[in-house]
Chain A
Amino acid sequence: MLELKNLTKYYGKRLILDNINLTVNDGEIVSIVGPSGGGKTTLLRCISGLESISSGEILIDASPFDPYRNTTNESVIGVVFQEFQLFPHLSVLDNITLAPKMVLKHGKAKAEEDAQKLLDRLSLGNKGHLYPYQLSGGQKQRVAIARALAMNPKILCYDEPTSALDPALRQEVEDLILSLKRDGMTQIVVTHDVPFAENIADKMLKVKPLED
């Protein structure tokens, strides 16, 4: 369970997030919705440790947690970026196995076996040897998901998962996120697409731009 208590974030003097409170239960899908400039991506970046928070608290399973400074391999928060940010010089398989090998110190054989399972699970079974530039947008996104899942994250976060994709693929992403939920994955989805959010989410958090 992830809890945000009075989470506040300033960029310099500009207030971006004002006292956000949120509870994400295990296995739940929470969407964070709101217009551009509302701070939804900033909130995601705070949760995933890419930004420090100005004040407030983040708790995981009721104990305080600082994702920004956390360097342990427990409580990993996985992120699927808007532009996926796959490593272009590495094959799909290497993209997925890099962190398990270097960070979790898994052997090559185990890392590759686990990666292959993830690829099979995400219907990318035969794509392991390809490079990111050879994949479609939807395939890249699934590789990004596989790469994040390979680190056994406690929570998986998505930043605008539908925006870089063909509208026809929206349904596919929806199905995928819901099927990961059935596997027990806790997920946080940032999106400006309200109908999409309504379809997937157990809970919605609306973030609005703050007037100054």
Chain B
Amino acid sequence: MTYILEILPSLLDGAKLTLEIFFWTIIGSIPLGLLVGLGLISKIKPIKYFLNFYVWLMRGTPLLLQLIFVFYGLPTLQQFHIHIVFGRYDAALFAFILNYGAYFAEIFRGGLQSIPKGQYESAKVLRLSYWQTIRTIVIPQVFKIVLPSIGNEIINLVKDSSLVYVIGLGDLLRAGNVATSRDVTLVPLLMVGAIYLLLTAIFTLILKKIEKHYSYYK
């Protein structure tokens, strides 16, 4: 018990970083995903092709590779006088937001396409502009439809955030791993597992609440 209390502060520090990355990624990638999702159903071909390429690239390569590429790869371009150097934390956020933005974009695309054409048409004959229609008619309905899929990705993100370990950020997993190798005991890793479970349980609960809030109509 004393050992648990002893290492808890360092684990909580790690958990704090994990949560920071989690929240900033959500805040960045959901709006990005929505915009890209709108672009994916756009009638302007070049936009559509470019965004399809982006989604393909982000979903088609491992997130771990993307993290390494942004943090270790891009700085090597300096020999060609191209300066793209991120700090560890910024590199992590950059890669996570781009990666999760692509997954959210595909989810939003599906949701947007499930809104019947008649909804746009009735908005049009009521003289609503395109953006008024998107904002007041389409997005509220899309949110309800995509909520379960978004929730799935959110739970994934809690755990995926542990990948930042590879670029040397002190997240929850790293804190546990350091303690385990130092003290040769399984306890820190069990605690890490428990903290992840607790976090996902909390987010699951919040997501259920939001889904329930949206069940006021069918």
Contact = CB atoms under 8 A, between A and B. Distances in A.
B127 A73 contact: yes
Interface in A149-188: 151
A102 B216 contact: no
Interface string B118-140: 11011011111100100011001
Contacts of A78: 125
B125 A49 contact: yes
B157 to A, nearest CB: 27
A89 interface: yes
Q: Is the interface of B mostly helix, strand, loop or mixed?
A: helix
Given A73-B127, A76-B127, A103-B126, A89 B141 contact: yes
A132 B119 CA distance: 13
B120 to A, nearest CB: 9
Residue of A50, A147, A148 most packed against chain B (CB within 10 A) = A50
Contacts of A76: 125, 127
Given A99-B128, A103-B127, A133 B122 contact: no
Looking at chain A's contact residues, is the secondary structure mostly helix, strand, loop, or mixed? loop
B3 interface: no
A166 to B, nearest CB: 21
Interface in B136-192: 136-137, 140-141, 144
B137 A77 contact: no
Nearest to B122: A85
A89 B144 contact: yes
A81 B127 contact: no
A189 to B, nearest CB: 16
A86 B136 CA distance: 13
A81 B121 CA distance: 9
Interface string A46-74: 00111000000000000000000001010
Q: Which size class do A's interface residues fall under?
A: 20 to 34
A168 B209 CA distance: 42
B121 to A, nearest CB: 6
A151 B124 CA distance: 12
B124 A50 contact: yes
Would you list the 4 A-B pairs with minimal beta carbon distance, nearest first? A99-B126, A85-B122, A85-B118, A133-B218
11 contacts: A71-B127, A76-B127, A79-B125, A89-B144, A98-B136, A102-B136, A131-B216, A131-B217, A131-B218, A133-B217, A148-B126
Interface of A: 48-50, 71, 73, 76-79, 81, 83, 85-89, 98-99, 102-103, 131-133, 147-148, 151
Given A49-B125, A85-B122, A86-B122, 20 more contacts: A50-B125, A73-B127, A76-B127, A77-B125, A79-B122, A81-B121, A85-B116, A85-B119, A87-B119, A87-B137, A87-B141, A88-B141, A89-B144, A99-B127, A102-B136, A103-B128, A147-B122, A148-B126, A151-B126, A151-B127
